[in-house]
Structures are given as C-alpha cells and as structure tokens.
Structure 1
Amino acid sequence: MLGLSTNIKYLINCKNDYSENLNHRFKKMEPHPEEVYMTYSKRDGYITFGQGYPSESIFPIQKIVIKLEGIDEDITFTQNELEFSQQYITGPYEALSDLLRKFQIHYHGLSDWKLENRKWDVCVTNGAQQGIAVIFRTMLEEGDTILAEKYTFGGIFLTTLPFNINIVGIETDEYGMIPESVEKVLSNWDSSVKPFPKMFYLIPIAQNPTGAIMNQQRRNDLYQLAIKYKMIILEDDVHYFLQFPKTRESVFTNNGNFRTDNLDLESSFLSMDTEGIVLRVDTFSKILSPGIRFGFITGPKQLVDVFAVETCAMDFHNSTMTLLIMYKLLSIWKFEGFNRHIRFTHLTYMDKRDQMKKLLDKYLDGLIEYKIPQGGMYFWVKLKGVANSWEFYRKYLFPKKICFGVSGYFQSPNESFFSNYLRISFTVGTLDEIEIAFSHLSNSLKEFNQNKN
C-alpha cells in the first residue's frame, strides 16, 4: 500500500532509447531552433511582436470567485491572473506541472524529480481520453496490436478504429487480466498474421466495466511479462482514488470530521517501474469534475516530451482558466485537503452503491448475478438466461427509454462474441428513477425467459 512517498528509485535502471517505440510520423519530426519559437511566444526580458496574441484589454471576464466545498477559503483571481486565464500560453504552465510532479512523488512514491536528472515528467492533457489518444497516436502505427482486458473502456475505440489497431482481449478474473492467458497468447503469437503486440492497455483499479482490482502479485506478474516481451504498459487509472475503505467509520476522525491523513491505496504500476516501460494516465474527472477536462500523463521524460508536442498539435494548449483553477485548488487543498475530499467522495459513493444494491436485490433477486464493487462507479451485472445483452437491451429496454451500459460497447471491435452483462452506474439517478428502471428490467427478464421457454 502506498499513501505517501517512499524510497522507490523510479527508472533507476532506465537507459532506454525510445526512438523505436515511436511511429514514423514522430521519427521524422525535427524541432525548430529556439529562435523560431521565440518569435511567437512571450519570454521575460524579451520584446516580441511575432505572436498572434489578442489584446488583454478586450477580454470580457472581469471577476471570478469560486466557492469550495468544505473549506472557507475561496478561489479568487488577481487582475494578472484574469488576463493569464484568458490568453494563449506557449509550453506548460510550469507552476502547475511542478505541483503535479509533487503529487506523483507523494502518491506513487516516485523519487525526487530534480534529484533524478528529470528521468520522468508529466504532461497535462484535456482529461484521460486525450492522454490515451496522444499515446496511441505517437506510439502505434496503423495495423499495430495491443493487449487489453476482454472487457475494457469503450472510449479507446474512438482512437484505435480509424488507425485499424488490433485490440486483443485477454481473459480476466477478480484481480484483472490473467497472466497465464497473456503468456499463452504471446508465446503462440504468429507475427505473419498480425504484428506482435507493442503495448498493454490496463485499467488496474476498479476496472471499467468489471470492477476488478489488481493486487500486488498480479501487477508483478504482468510487469514481468511486459519486460520479457519488450512491451509498454499504458496504465489508465481513472478510478485509482476510488478505492473504497472497508468501513464507513474509517473515513472519520474521532470527533466526526473527515480524515486528512494518508489514503490507504493499492500501489500502481508507475510506483514499481524500474525499466521505464510504464506510461500512466491520470484524471480528476471522476473525483472532482469531468467538465473541467483535466488529466495528465506521467512517464519517461523522453516520451513525455513527445506527448507534449502532440497535445500542442491537437489543441495548442489546455484551457488556461482550467490550468489556473487547478493550480489554485491544489495549492489551497494541499495533500490534506485532497485526502479529505477523497474520503468525502468515498462515503458518498459507498452510500449510493449500497442504496442501489438494496434495489437490485428487491427487484432482480434470482434474475441476475453480481459482485459488490469495492471501488469505482459501476455494478457489472450478469443477466441469467440471456445470451446477448445487446439484443435484449434493444428489444426490451430501449423502447421503454431505459438505458444501461451494454457489454458489447466494452468489447474490442476486432473480436465478436455474445455476452450477457450490463454495466449499471450507481453514481447517477434518483431512487425513484432506479426503482422504475429496475422494475422494467425485472419484468423484461421474466418476459424474455418465459418467451424463451
């Protein structure tokens, strides 16, 4: 378990040349001389007229005050900050990047960024989705192959489909991807049919959609396989901070306030990486706000620098207002305030989970199978007697305006198989809406099974 920095020496053995990990587009790229960049960027001590910056005098937003939950201090903007938040920037917002480095040192035990000669770094993205897309777009060629869990985050297909990326789904259990299944696939791979896999795409904590949580032994086994077969691990850990405590009482101090000390968290692939093969994607979408579109990649600096170029090509830079808000929020909260908010989120989500469980049992007892999720946001529900949840959903639920996550959405487009699962989010919906939906689902399953017989 990791709750604060340890003595792990991140990338201590890493002397990697990553040129072979990049696709042909980035192998051809040559950086412009600094003098060229200077013509369209602002630098202290320089008088520049090359940039296409609008005048700050036309910016309409004159005041911003943000009230924070749980503390008395507000987020306010000075005049200079208001101008900054509405203007272009070139390069990273270094003050925020430095906070994120400290964040990774604290929560993943990385060695000090400055002492390790910048062997690792961070790159801010517009949420985890962009981070995943940036990594795929820079490291995969058209037709390449990656390994993922049998059921995985459907959003990755938005990037893989246009580039004809082959996604091979690997069997999972309650701890995630099964190493023996990986070994069987890789040891029998025929590269004359498809290119040998370059990368693992993994969701280690509260896996989406199954809810599986990797233990340390499972991570060790998969990490060793990545080393053996010279593969990169893309660690998409969107639910990392949604690892629920065993009891509600554990989130409180003796006087009833939310605890602010270190969180009890499973360690990450990033925290154990000594070979420079892990790329970690983080986001605050599930624990703060998805609308602010804020995430970041952590990994070997040689690769992170490439990702920074790609993010610039995609959207020039992140919203400067978002960057400034996140900087101020993390500066005010510090680790103690962040930990408090995570425990508040744990309690909120555990209550919602338990409320939904009661209604699942009330309406669907004997009709479904499920395990109580110990983190994340979803129930992964098996429909008894149903072979194809997609066809069942289209015929029985969608016409009644009842929508669930159908298992087909989480399956690789390269693979075709029937599945009888639904993903049901316990973080949304009122109790009345849940009762209506589960009542329809119950009646539909009974009708389906009756018609089948």
Structure 2
Amino acid sequence: MVPPPAIDVDVHGVTDTTTLTTPNPLTINGVDKRRAAYPKLAAGIAAVADVDSFKGRTQHLHKPKAHRWDHRFSAESNARRGNSLKGAAKYLRNPGMISLGGGLPSSEYFPFDELSIKAPLVGQFSEPETHENGKVLTAGKHDMANDISLFDVSTAFNYGQGSGSAQLLRWIIEHTEIVHNPPYQDWHCTMTIGSTSALDMAFRMFCTSGESILAEEYTFSAAVETARPMGLNVVGVGMDGDGLLPSSLDEILSNWDESKGKKPFILYTVPTGQNPTGTTQSAQRRREVYKVAQKHDLIILEDEPYYFLQMQPYTGANAPDVPPPASHEEFLKALVPSFLSMDTDGRVVRMDSFSKVIAPGSRIGWITASQQVVQRYVVHADVSTQGPSGFSQLSLYKLLDEHWGHAGYLDWLIHMRLEYTKRRNVILDACEKYLPREFVKWTPPSAGMFMWLGIDYEKHPEWKGEGKGKSILDLEEQIFQTIIRHGVLAMKGSWFYADAGAKHDTLYFRMTYAAAAFDKIDEAVKRFGEGVREEFGLPPLESNGSA
C-alpha cells in the first residue's frame, strides 16, 4: 500500500488513511510500538478510515473469518446503497487531486479559532485536583497543517464519515483490541451517536415489523420503547442472580410457536450491571448463552455501558476492603470476559459508550462487529445520523489519545471502579440499616449503577391473593406513592417489563447510587425504608436506625 500524501492546506476534501502494522503483543506497549514504527496518520477532512490498518493485522491472520449474515438483514437494510457523494471520496486518494466536488464549507468561515478543555492529570482524577492541577488541552484551527497535531478544528468541525474521524477511530480500535481481542479476523469498529441510537439502527438493520426479539424479562426500558413503534414484539427471557438464563432462552426458542410469527433471532442483553436488576453474567453464564445463540443462529446485541463499572467484591459492612488492581494487566484480568471476546462466529454486535465513564453529553459510542455488519451500519449512518459531533470527537481525541493515552485511560477506569465501589458500599450499608429484611430482599451488585429491591408483596396487609382484591401492580403503585410522600424517588419494576402483557408475580423497585452525594444516598434509603415500614404496618425507626 502506498501511504497517502501529506496534508496539503490548498486541497480541501477527503483523503484516504493508510498505515502499516507489525506483529506486537496485544498490550498497551505493543500498540505504542506499532504506532511509532510506521508512517504518521494522515487523515484530512472526512477522511475514509482504513480500519484494518489500525489493528495488529498479523495477530489476527490465524483466526477464522466471521459468518456471513446476508440471511439476517432486513429489506430496509438490503435496499440501502449508501451515500453516492461520499462514495466519490475514493478519487481524492489520487496525488494532487483538487476537489470541486464535495459540498464542504471552508473552515475560514468557522467562528472558532481554538477549542480548549481542562482535564485531569493521570493519577489526579478528583474534581478538586482537576480544578487545581488539571491540564488545559487546546486544539487550534490549523494544527494539522502546522504539524502540531493529527487533528484540529478545521477538520473535526467539518463534515465527516458516518464511521467518525480516523483519528479517534484508531484509538477506539486499539482499545477494543487491548481489552477484548476478538477471536475472528474481520472485526471492525464504527462510531455511534451513543448506544440508544446504535440499538435503533441495529433493530432496523435486522428486523421487520411483526417480528419478535428477545431480552431479559426485566430490561432497559428505552430498548422496549425503541422496539415497539417499529412493530417489534419483545419476548422476556427468564433471569436469576447471574442474569439471563440460558435454559429459559433455549426453551423459548426450541418450543417457539410459529403462529406467533417468525422465530426470533435477535437477543438484546445487558450482561454487566444489568439495567435495571444490577445482575452481572459470569464468564460461564456467557459461554452458555453463546452456545444457545450458536444452536439457534442468534445475533447477540451486547449492550455494555456499565462494563467498566465492575466493582471490587463486596465484603460486608465494617469488613476490610479488597485491595484494588495493582496493574493494568490485573485490572483487565479482573473484568468478566465479554461476549465479544468469545465470539468466534462474528454473531455479536457489541455496543460501547463513553456515557457512563466519561460523559453522557459526549454522545459518542461505538459498535464492534463483523466487517459485513459494520459496513451495513455505516451505510445507514451516512444517510441518517452521519458521524458523531466533531466537537465531541476532537475533545475526546485530545483527552484519550494525546493526553492520557491507553495507559492513562485504564488508570481512569480503575479510578472509576474504586469510586463506584464506594458508592455501592454506601447504599448497601444504608439498606442494612434501614430496610426491613422480612419484607425487602436484595443482592449486592458487582457492577453498574443499580440496586434491585424485591418486595414480598404477599406479606402486605392488603394482599388477599391473586384475583381477590388489589393486584401486584396496585400494590406497587400504592407503595410508590407512599415513598414519594416520604420524599424519595425509586423506579417501579413494572416500568422495565420486557413484555408487559406476560404474567408477572414479582414486585421490585430500582434505586441508583450513581448520582447523589453519599449523605443523600443514606438519607434516601432511610426514607424509602420509612415508606415500606408504613406500608407493611411496622413502627418507624429510631434515629439510630434501630426498630
């Protein structure tokens, strides 16, 4: 391959991106050496990214290729032919080509000279430390032409490819390789406008109105609310303390009634810190689910916003803490392996996001899937969402690539792990103090943001039995209004039904420990407990938390 020409400030348009790779271990050090050994990335306005060049190509040659998914694409997806104007960008690879083709406004008319953000130094991640000692990262308008940076305002703020900028995409691909190392050759990544947008597009790529999809019986409400207007039915799969049950999944598919329509082939799952239940599928559970997916030829939509919010083991109130990971390697080994990391078929579409570990307002995530699936996604993005915001991409590039690097980002994720462990422990301690165990049950979450509280409604004084008075939903609403009156908001479990029409004989509430200050978490749980005690006819707690 011939490297592209250097950026020429007199030529405005799209340039191709090509680099070379050498065999290196799938480590941070290996990625850094690979970058240093080969030509500097040259990616101008709306540059097409050569995804394979960002991977350790020779490290994947021994792996199988992904299955083909032609039989799974929807009619809508099959009808898409991409953006013809963006297709013309390939001609700008020709040296000396002057573009009068693309409708790209000149950066001369962008009313921004530079973009500056203040970010934490590695190891000084707290808000006060960032305020006092943080580093100001600045991107100028013409940093690329002036050989100051590989990305700048004039490029980032212009039109781009649906896959996102080559500069940030390279970092994302390297990160995915370091963390997951997908076990097949032709995996690719492309940026998304966050995971909810990615899910919407995935449903449209694979599904047709009247079909069914599979999800945990309690699932992310926005996923259901995305599917229903498309005419999709959501079938709930049974769960236990380890999340989705492979036996329930297999039973549903093995005994599928064709009168209900086509047998579903899409499984939507949140394997880690599941929303709303907080459950995390173990490595063995994921392997079992994957085997069922192979048996029934499923595509797994692996939605993982909480993957890096896996926490230290809970040892109980007043017990000594488990020491944090002592190295990046130890941290990565402590993570439950992803579906992507065990996907030999290319049947997993993994959705990642910066929303929970950097900032939701960045509106940047990415999917990892087979090249075939990613190409379909990009074709769709090019005529709908386009690429994520250039402001966000440039900010994240400055932070993740130029400032922290892969090592610094892992340090940040370890910091997040320990911070969420503290928050989880605060809410668990509060539950032990204030909630009546005879009526409320919970399991300490090992990841994510949520506590899932089961209410033993059969012990409620107004429960008379099924069909003999107030229903479970009636009692749920009554308890909900009581805790609202006590000054705390917790979400009703029924809001997370995958299939509201199915029979449910459980009553849950979801609480989060993600946002409130520590003392507010304690007070909120106390108020929740007061409401529950009132509903179940118990006396109020004393100020010290004792009955």
TM-score where L is the length of structure 1 = 0.88
1:271 to 315, 334, 341: 341
1:374 to 442, 446, 456: 446
Partner of 2:156 in structure 1? 85
Change (3 A) 1:132 1:44: farther
Question: Does structure 1 conserve the Cα–Cα contact (< 8 Å) formed by 2:81 and 2:379?
Answer: no
1:356 to 420, 427, 444: 427
Shift of 1:235: 0.8
SS state at 2:308 partner: coil
2:353 to 265, 275, 283: 283
Question: Does structure 2 conserve the Cα–Cα contact (< 8 Å) formed by 1:380 and 1:421?
Answer: yes
Distance 2:78 2:325 in 1: 52
Q: Could you tell which deviates more after superposition, 49-58 or 73-82?
A: 49-58
1:128 aligns with 2:186: no
Aligned counterparts, 1:348-427, within 5 A: 348-366=419-437, 367-385=439-457, 387-388=472-473, 390-399=476-485, 402-416=488-502, 417=504, 419-427=506-514
Residues 177-218 of structure 1: CA distance to partner in whole angstroms, max 9, x if unpaired? 111112221111111222201111111112212122222221
Partner of 1:335 in structure 2? 406
Equivalent residue letter for 1:266: V
SS state at 1:268 partner: coil
Shift of 1:283: 0.9
SS state at 1:362 partner: helix
Partner of 2:281 in structure 1? 214
Equivalent residue letter for 1:250: P
Change (3 A) 1:261 1:221: closer
Equivalent residue letter for 1:362: K
Distance 1:12 1:365 in 2: 54
TM-score where L is the length of structure 2 = 0.74
Distance 1:294 1:408 in 2: 30
Question: Does structure 1 conserve the Cα–Cα contact (< 8 Å) formed by 2:486 and 2:531?
Answer: no
Shift of 1:334: 2.2
Shift of 1:175: 1.6
Shift of 1:8: 8.9
Aligned counterparts, 1:125-274, within 5 A: 125-246=192-313, 248=321, 250-251=323-324, 259-263=327-331, 264-274=334-344
Q: Could you tell which deviates more after superposition, 175-184 or 13-22?
A: 13-22
1:298 aligns with 2:365: no
Partner of 1:322 in structure 2? 392
Shift of 1:172: 1.0
Partner of 2:75 in structure 1? 24
Q: Could you tell which deviates more after superposition, 260-269 or 376-385?
A: 260-269
Distance 1:120 1:47 in 2: 33
Equivalent residue letter for 1:364: L
Change (3 A) 1:43 1:436: farther
Shift of 1:63: 2.8
Distance 1:324 1:195 in 2: 44
Change (3 A) 1:51 1:292: same
Shift of 1:76: 1.5
RMSD of Structure 2 on Structure 1 (CA): 2.9
Gaps of 5+ in 1: 254-258
Equivalent residue letter for 1:75: L
Partner of 1:103 in structure 2? 175
Equivalent residue letter for 1:408: S
Change (3 A) 1:66 1:279: same
Distance 1:343 1:395 in 2: 39
Equivalent residue letter for 1:69: P
Residues 251-309 of structure 1: CA distance to partner in whole angstroms, max 9, x if unpaired? 275xxxxx544522111111111112111111121111111111100000011011112
Distance 1:235 1:39 in 2: 33
Distance 1:299 1:309 in 2: 15
SS state at 1:437 partner: helix
Partner of 1:256 in structure 2? none
Shift of 1:35: 8.4
1:62 aligns with 2:113: yes
Equivalent residue letter for 2:115: I
Equivalent residue letter for 1:274: T
SS state at 1:77 partner: strand
Aligned counterparts, 1:34-53, within 5 A: 37-38=88-89, 45-53=96-104
Equivalent residue letter for 1:273: D
Gaps of 5+ in 2: 1-25, 29-55, 123-133, 143-151, 314-319, 461-471, 539-547
Equivalent residue letter for 1:352: R
Distance 1:44 1:198 in 2: 46
Question: Does structure 2 conserve the Cα–Cα contact (< 8 Å) formed by 1:176 and 1:204?
Answer: yes
Equivalent residue letter for 1:63: E
Equivalent residue letter for 2:287: N
Change (3 A) 1:424 1:182: same
Equivalent residue letter for 2:111: P
Partner of 2:6 in structure 1? none
Distance 2:229 2:365 in 1: 23
Distance 1:85 1:403 in 2: 41
Give % identity.
27
SS state at 1:422 partner: strand
- Larger RCO (CA under 8 A, 6+ residues apart): 1
Question: Does structure 1 conserve the Cα–Cα contact (< 8 Å) formed by 2:77 and 2:204?
Answer: no
Distance 1:96 1:197 in 2: 35
Q: Could you tell which deviates more after superposition, 39-48 or 391-400?
A: 39-48
Distance 1:101 1:415 in 2: 41
Distance 1:185 1:404 in 2: 32
Distance 1:433 1:310 in 2: 44
Shift of 1:44: 7.2
